[in-house]
Amino acid sequence: MIMNKTAAGILLLTLMATGAACSSEPKASTSSPAPTAATTTAPQATAAAQTQDAINLKGYIAARIAQEKADFLFAEAKSKDGKLILNPVAADSKDKAVKFLTSYYDATMADKVATHYLTDQKADNAIVTNTQPFFPTNLLATKKEDITYDAANTKDQVSFTTKDGVTFTTKKVNDTFVLAEAVKK
């Protein structure tokens, strides 16, 4: 009986080894030819296009967030008499406002935005802000379908134009897109 179990075990191992050896042999294919260089580069080109589309979307979203943060800083807080004032997160200082904005804008643009909004007036011990918008269009009112991306966009810079002719440019700083320019053409 032990002999039968041993023989059955050896037979089973032999079958498993033979099956494994047969399954690892290359099989001749008659159904389709091997991929050529043309068929293997097409998916890569499509993947690169999708990657640039994703980068473009990141640039667009970064510009929207930048405009939202400017609204948060300069157009949200009000004094007791209803005047728009610098949001207290900036602690009533242009330097702190610029520092806050540099997370969303390049340094030059952050300074331009702060300079535009901050006035010499005070209300409730806070700086009164300019009510005129800095941006030539309200990007927050657009949808991604309302914009056209520049064909020359790269992984480090994205430009796009709104339907009303305003071109926004974002660039990568420390692996994050920040708004660098907003110009009406």
- Band of the pLDDT at 24, cuts 50, 70, 90? very low
The mean pLDDT value for 131-159 works out to 94
Enumerate the domain spans of the chain: 50-184
Q: Which fold has domain 50-184?
A: Nuclear Transport Factor 2; Chain: A, (3.10.450)
Checking if the pLDDT of 89 tops 70, the result is yes
Q: How far apart are CA 71 and CA 180, in angstroms?
A: 17
pLDDT of amino acid 72? 96
Amino acid at 171: K
Q: How far apart are CA 102 and CA 97, in angstroms?
A: 9
Place of tokens 């032990």: 2
Checking if the pLDDT of 136 tops 70, the result is yes
The sign of the torsion formed by the CA atoms of 40, 46, 49, 55 equals: negative
pLDDT of amino acid 10? 52
- Asked whether the whole model's pTM tops 0.75, one would answer no
Could you please report the per-residue DSSP string of 95-125? HHHHHHHTTTB-HHHHHHHHHHHEEEEEETT
Q: How far apart are CA 54 and CA 158, in angstroms?
A: 11
How high is the mean pLDDT of the chain?
Answer: 82
pLDDT of amino acid 43? 47
Checking if the pLDDT of 141 tops 80, the result is yes
The mean pLDDT value for 88-105 works out to 91
What backbone phi and psi angles, to 5 degrees, belong to 84? -70, 135
- Band of the pLDDT at 185, cuts 50, 70, 90? confident
* 3-class SS shares of the chain: helix, strand, coil, % to 5: 50, 20, 30
Q: Do 179 and 62 contact (CB within 8 A), yes or no? A: yes
Q: How far apart are CA 49 and CA 183, in angstroms?
A: 27
Tens-place pLDDT, residues 27-85 = 444 444 444 444 444 444 444 545 899 999 999 999 999 999 999 999 999 999 999 99
